[in-house]
C-alpha cells in the first residue's frame, strides 16, 4: 500500500514525506528537480529523506520525472498502485508566472490532468492536491472562506490553482474519485523555499544587504508554520470526502458537492502585518534590516486571512504556531544549514 507524493523534494513535499516515513507509510515520490530555485537544496532534502528511510528500513524512493510526462507517470502508477495520491508538484511563485506563463500551463494544468487520469484508471482511494490562497484573487472581504466566490484571479498562478479545483470536481463527479483541495496560506519554516519572503529577508539581513518591502510595507499575511500544515495534510489524507447528500443545487455551496469533493483553507487564522513579521526576524537574528520600500507588484495582493473553521470541524485540528516560534525555528535551521 503506497502513498504517492508528487513534488516530494519540494518544501511541503519533503516535510510530508518525512512525516509519512515516521508513520511507517511506504512512499513513492516524484520530483523533476527543476532549476526554479537552487537544486542543491532539493537534493539535500532528498538525501535527508533517503537516510531517514534507510535508518528505518522502510520502502521509500524519489523518482525524477515531470508529472506532465504521461507515459512515464502511467508506468509509475501501474507499477506501484498507490492507494493515496498527494499532488504537491506545481510551478510555484506568483511573480514568476508573469514572465514564464508556459511553465504554469505545463505543470499546473497539463501535469494535473495526467495525475487525474492516472487516479481514474488506477482507482485510487483519495487524491489530495495543493491549491492556494491566491485563488481568492481580488476578494477583499476577510477572512477568506471556502464559501466565497473565487472567480477573479489576479495572476496566472492563481488561475491554474482554481483550474485544478474545477478539474478535480469534474473527476469526482464523473468517476466517483474522492478529491480534496488544500488552499495553503503563506507556508514557512525550516527547509523553506528560497524565493519566499522569510528566506529572502533572513539571507539579506545576515549578509547586511537591503530587503525589498513591497506595497511600502502595507501588507498583511496569514503566515502558516510548516508543522501545522503537515499535521493538517496528514489528517486530511486519512479522511476522504464523501458525497453531500443534502447538497442544494439551487443554492450551491462552493466548498462542498454532491460528488465526493471538498476544498479547505489551511492557514493560521491570525494575519500579521509584514512590518511586524520583519521585526520578529530582526529580533531572532539580532540585527536590523536595511529596508527598501517598493510598490505592490503585479499579481500580488495586499492581504490574506483564512477562515479555517471548516478544516477544524473536519479534522479536529487548527494551525496555531506563533510567528515568533515559527520564525525562530526557521532561523535556527538557516544558521545550521548555511
Q: What is the mean pLDDT of residues 221-245?
A: 97
Q: pLDDT tens digits for 5-38?
A: 999 999 999 999 999 998 989 999 999 999 888 8
Distance set, CA 90 to CA 108, 159, 198, 205 (Å): 5, 13, 21, 29
Determine whether 141 is exposed, middle or buried from the number of CB atoms within 10 Å of its CB (0-12, 13-18, 19+). exposed
Q: Is the dihedral of CA 83, 41, 229, 218 positive or negative?
A: negative
CA distance linking residue 236 with residue 230, whole number of Å: 10
CA distance linking residue 271 with residue 107, whole number of Å: 30
**Is residue 57 scored above 70 in pLDDT?**
no
**Is residue 226 scored above 80 in pLDDT?**
yes
Q: Residue 56: pLDDT band by 50, 70, 90 thresholds?
A: low
**Is residue 85 scored above 90 in pLDDT?**
yes
pLDDT above 70: percentage of residues in the chain:
99
* Phi and psi angles of residue 74, each rounded to the nearest 5 degrees, phi first: -60, -40
State the pLDDT at residue 71.
96
State the pLDDT at residue 255.
82
Q: pLDDT tens digits for 236-294?
A: 999 999 999 999 999 888 888 999 999 999 999 999 999 999 999 999 999 999 999 99
pLDDT above 90: percentage of residues in the chain:
88
The mean of the pLDDT values for the chain is 95
| Strand-pair category, 26-31 with 2-6 | parallel
More confident of the two residues 323 and 99: 323
Q: What is the mean pLDDT of residues 294-322?
A: 94
The number of beta carbons lying within 10 Å of the beta carbon of residue 167 is: 19
Q: Residue 78: pLDDT band by 50, 70, 90 thresholds?
A: very high
More confident of the two residues 310 and 253: 310
Query: How many Cα atoms sit within 13 Å of 152 on the Cβ side?
Result: 7
State the pLDDT at residue 69.
96
State the pLDDT at residue 58.
67
H or E element in which residue 92 lies: none
Distance set, CA 139 to CA 47, 129, 133, 136, 154 (Å): 41, 23, 11, 6, 10
Q: What is the mean pLDDT of residues 138-162?
A: 93
Q: pLDDT tens digits for 111-123?
A: 999 999 999 999 9
Best CA proximity match to 129, nearest among 100, 90, 170, 92: 90
H or E element in which residue 185 lies: none
Domain 2-187+225-267+306-321 has what CATH class?
A: alpha beta
Query: What's the start-to-end Cα distance of the chain, in Å?
Result: 37
Distance set, CA 52 to CA 57, 178, 267, 332 (Å): 9, 31, 28, 21
Active site residues: 157
Which residue has cell 520564525? 327
Q: pLDDT tens digits for 177-207?
A: 999 999 999 999 999 999 999 999 999 999 9
State the pLDDT at residue 55.
75
What pTM did the predictor assign? 0.95
Determine whether 154 is exposed, middle or buried from the number of CB atoms within 10 Å of its CB (0-12, 13-18, 19+). middle
Amino acid at each position: 500500500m503506497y502513498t504517492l507524493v508528487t513534488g516530494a523534494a519540494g518544501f511541503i513535499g519533503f516535510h510530508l514525506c518525512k512525516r509519512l516515513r515516521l508513520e511507517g507509510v511506504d512512499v513513492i515520490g516524484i520530483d523533476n528537480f527543476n532549476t526554479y530555485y537552487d537544486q542543491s537544496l532539493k537534493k539535500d532534502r532528498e538525501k535527508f529523506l533517503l537516510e531517514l528511510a534507510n535508518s528505518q528500513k522502510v520502502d521509500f524512493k524519489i523518482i525524477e520525472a515531470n508529472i506532465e510526462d504521461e507515459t512515464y507517470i502511467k508506468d509509475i502508477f501501474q507499477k506501484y498502485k498507490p492507494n493515496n495520491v498527494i499532488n504537491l508538484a506545481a510551478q510555484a511563485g506568483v511573480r514568476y508566472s508573469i514572465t514564464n506563463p508556459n511553465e504554469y500551463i505545463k505543470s499546473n494544468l497539463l501535469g494535473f490532468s495526467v495525475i487525474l487520469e492516472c487516479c481514474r484508471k488506477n482507482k485510487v482511494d483519495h487524491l489530495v492536491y495543493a491549491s492556494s490562497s491566491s485563488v481568492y484573487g481580488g476578494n477583499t472581504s476577510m477572512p477568506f472562506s471556502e464559501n466565497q466566490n473565487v472567480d477573479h484571479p489576479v495572476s496566472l498562478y492563481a488561475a491554474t490553482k482554481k483550474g485544478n479545483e474545477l478539474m478535480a470536481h469534474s473527476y469526482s463527479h464523473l468517476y466517483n474519485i474522492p478529491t480534496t483541495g488544500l488552499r495553503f496560506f503563506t507556508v514557512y519554516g525550516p527547509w523553506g523555499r528560497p524565493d519566499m519572503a522569510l528566506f529572502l529577508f533572513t539571507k539579506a539581513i545576515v549578509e547586511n544587504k537591503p530587503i525589498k518591502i513591497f506595497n511600502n510595507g502595507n501588507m498583511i499575511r496569514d503566515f502558516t508554520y510548516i508543522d501545522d500544515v503537515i499535521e493538517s495534510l496528514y489528517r486530511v489524507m486519512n479522511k476522504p470526502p464523501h458525497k453531500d447528500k443534502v447538497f442544494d443545487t439551487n443554492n450551491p455551496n462552493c466548498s462542498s458537492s454532491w460528488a465526493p469533493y471538498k476544498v479547505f483553507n489551511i492557514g493560521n487564522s491570525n494575519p500579521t502585518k509584514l512590518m511586524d513579521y520583519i521585526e520578529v526576524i530582526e529580533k531572532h537574528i539580532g540585527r536590523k534590516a536595511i529596508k527598501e520600500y517598493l510598490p505592490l507588484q503585479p499579481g500580488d495582493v495586499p492581504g490574506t486571512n483564512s477562515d479555517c473553521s471548516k478544516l477544524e470541524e473536519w479534522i479536529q485540528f487548527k494551525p496555531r504556531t506563533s510567528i515568533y516560534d515559527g520564525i525562530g525555528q526557521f532561523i535556527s535551521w538557516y544558521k545550521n544549514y548555511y
